[in-house]
Structure 1
């Protein structure tokens, strides 16, 4: 019989494997779509179901990525402490976890509404296919962006089962936002990616060009977030927050350069987590003011 301490250790390892804290990137945007579609605070049922669905599909995507990339992670100095590499979790346990989370996601979508349920296989495919793209194309960053771009669409559909202009504009903004910061993050692995035959924007274009492309992505992000707020009819408070978010994106590119990437983790996680929460808060304020 497995002891409680062993189960707790496994649970902690799973949380580290899927980086549960990174849910902060996607959840606020799902809530943004849901709250705007509801014109305020949604009812408890779609809110809870959306939360479960988002955490489940993100867990599927991360766990699939880790188990598929195990041969690469075991050789990359930056990733050799990941639970699958150290043996804290086995591949078989990971596949079981993926199956359970996928089932939870589909069931949650079933109880949200018919359109969510019909689209659940598509969402799962989009989420897991990203992990294979780095083997073939440097466009993998943009596919990852498309995965998180499903967030405001999912949130909107959970309340109003249709595709709308505001939700699509926010989705495009998120696609370029994620692609931009993922390009920055992947700069750490440029040398290894080239050695291993993996594809990324830094490995393909070089460090300086990668940072330029990342900057362009975040300019597009700011434009899409501006248009999304306008199309949704949000109030002045949203646009005040949008200006702050745009400033944070600009600052993100000021603290790193091709000559100094020492603050890449700050640019990747701290500042981008702040952006997602702040924009959601701005959307809330824009609904009521």
Structure 2
């Protein structure tokens, strides 16, 4: 008997009745699933570092103001490059995805899309990202091109290191650097603190995400911080989150942020603290909900910076 996912082509770990499955034409659905358009929240985890970097740069030079057009461009670029990264990841991980219950319904292992078709779709998305990138200054363009190295190596890291979450953090938070340089033309300490804080944040939230697959990962030999940390997962996630807050607050203070920013950061601390306090590592659904809450962390941090800029 076919499962609902197999009958409709839907992916097992996507929300039932998501917009892609409900409204997209049939020919587009497999490609949308490759690009994870059926799961928009993780896209925002790639986008928000661009957003809070733009806000931090605006605080560093308040007379310039916040660049809303750059924010729109970075959102379009995030959609394209997150989709390209996921497509590349699925091409590389087909053999693993076929062995894991949560991922075997993805388009390539389920036969909805061939690897060749996926590769062509990957190139198309990368070209969209390139067009967006070329709207910025030379430093930002060079940084954007350099990020492709991280995108290329990330899918292989789960095979060779217990710290693939670190490499995801390096790639996913690159927007903190390009967002800053798009406004300033060069890197500076606040942007670097923002970036390192984002890396630690990603290690924390992706460890939570990896708790869903810990048994399957052990069977197929995939490494992760969730497996490495074991029973200490909650404690170590808490430490990574705490270090994130320290670095982000320091970055804000270095550009002159004051009490409105610090008050706004209480919401960031509250969301991160709730995740740790209520995390049940052995319950996959619990981990997924706490992982998804990190979209609100990025939004809250950006809002805290903008609040200070306004007040």
Using the size of structure 2 for normalisation, the TM-score is 0.84
Cα distance, 1:261–1:85 mapped onto 2, change above 3 Å = closer
Alpha-carbon RMSD:
2.1
Counterpart pick for 2:110 among 80, 83, 86 = 86
SS of the aligned residue for 2:174 comes to helix
Paired residues for 1:105-116 under 5 Å = 105-116=129-140
CA displacement at 1:90 relative to structure 2: 2.2
Q: Quick check: 237-246 or 51-60, which moved more?
A: 51-60
Which residue matches 1:4? Answer: none
**Cα deviation per residue 1:110-161 (whole Å; 9 max; x = unaligned)?**
2311112222331111123111100000111011111122112111111211
Aligned residue for 1:276?
A: 298
Please tell me whether the aligned partners of residues 185 and 268 of structure 1 are also in contact (alpha carbons under 8 angstroms).
Answer: yes
Shift of 1:249: 0.5
| SS at structure 1 position matched to 2:102 | helix
Distance in 1 between the 2:305 and 2:226 partners? 34
Name the structure 2 match of 1:18: 35
TM value normalised by structure 1: 0.90
**Structure 2: distance between partners of 1:170 and 1:195:** 36
Name the structure 2 match of 1:237: 260
- Count of matched residue positions in the alignment of Structure 1 and Structure 2: 282
Instruction: Report the Cα offset of residue 284 of structure 1.
Output: 1.0
Q: Per the alignment, in what secondary structure is the counterpart of residue 23 of structure 1?
A: helix
- 2:67 maps to what in 1? 42
Q: Distance in 2 between matches of 1:161 and 1:103?
A: 23
Question: Could you say which residue in structure 2 is the equivalent of 1:218?
Answer: 241
Give the direction of change, closer, same or farther, for the CA distance of 1:192–1:260 in structure 2 (3 Å limit). Answer: closer
After TM superposition, give the deviation of residue 168 of structure 1 in Å: 1.3
In 1: Cα distance, 2:268 partner to 2:247 partner? 12
1:8 to 2:25 alignment: yes
**1 or 2, which has the higher helix percentage?**
1
Q: Does 1:185 align with 2:209?
A: yes
Gaps of 5+ in 1: 1-6
Give 1:75 shift.
Answer: 1.2
Per-residue CA shift, 1:158-201, capped at 9, x if unaligned? 12111122211111111111110111111121222222121112
Q: Which residue of 1 aligns with 2:162?
A: 138
Q: State how far apart, in whole Å, the 2-side matches of 1:85 and 1:31 are.
A: 34
